[in-house]
Amino acid sequence: MNAAFSESDESTISDRLAAVRLISHVQPSKILDFGGGIGTVSRLCSINLPQAEKIDLVDITEFRHIIQQHLADFKNIRILEKPEPLYDAVISTEVLEHLIDPIETMIEINTLLRIGGAFAASWSFAPCMQCHLPQNFHLRSLMFWIIRSLGFGFYGFERRGNTVYGFVKTSDVTPQMRRNARLIEFCARLPIPVDRLLLMLRGL
């Protein structure tokens, strides 16, 4: 059902296309579709980024053979169990909110990218779907800042169905960055508008 929705809903397709546009400036030849489901993002990358030689789709699904058949016409797409770094770009749309520890996932994504590589993502830490994990709802307002604390610079966004953010990897993750990310996570649980304070202090 979710796959059919992703392939047919206009706002969802618009979000995925926004993510593709947000990585296009690095002219990626090797792309990772992280948590790519049935492959909507991979397909859009193949169509819209002709320089892409390898597009790797990695997802926890057990139906990789079906997805491979669905994407058979796109010869530069591979369905993998595990990523094969390093990548020029990583896209992760509406994935982080389904994971037990999104911060550890962001650290992993950092390791998968080359320095200067692009990362495009959207997320929705809100109780709008049953599969959104309630233990992470507090990340709704500060996930952006957590990503920035983990070796990513921010360079742009598009607002379509959801906000899709574009980042660039500026450095590998250090132990201090890990501590900073966990501190921001702690602040996200406080009953104060920390995100607004950060915007006032640093701006987007």
* Tokens of residue 29, six digits: 């030849």
Q: Cβ distance 120 to 79 under 8 Å? A: no
Q: Cβ distance 58 to 83 under 8 Å? A: yes
**What local confidence, expressed as pLDDT, does residue 197 receive?**
63
**What local confidence, expressed as pLDDT, does residue 106 receive?**
96
**What local confidence, expressed as pLDDT, does residue 8 receive?**
56
**What local confidence, expressed as pLDDT, does residue 1 receive?**
41
The fraction of the chain above a pLDDT of 70, given in percent, is 84
187 burial class (0-12, 13-18, 19+ CB within 10 angstroms)? middle
| CATH code at position 32 | 3.40.50.150
**What local confidence, expressed as pLDDT, does residue 112 receive?**
98
How far is CA 62 from each of CA 57, 80, 133, rounded to the nearest angstrom? Answer: 13, 11, 21
State phi, psi for 132 to the nearest 5 degrees.
Answer: -80, 125
What are residue 77's DSSP bridge partners? 55
Question: Does the bond joining 86 to the residue before it have cis omega, within 30 degrees of 0?
Answer: yes
* Residues in CB range of 125: below 8 A, 6 or more apart: 96, 97, 132, 136, 137, 138, 139, 140, 143
**What's the pTM?**
0.86
**What local confidence, expressed as pLDDT, does residue 133 receive?**
57
Distance CA 157, CA 152 (A): 14
In total, how many domains does the chain have? 1
**What local confidence, expressed as pLDDT, does residue 78 receive?**
95
**What local confidence, expressed as pLDDT, does residue 193 receive?**
64
**What local confidence, expressed as pLDDT, does residue 204 receive?**
45
**What local confidence, expressed as pLDDT, does residue 129 receive?**
54
Owning domain of residue 89: 2-202
Q: Cβ distance 166 to 132 under 8 Å? A: no
| Regions of the chain where pLDDT drops below 70 | 1-9, 126-135, 192-204
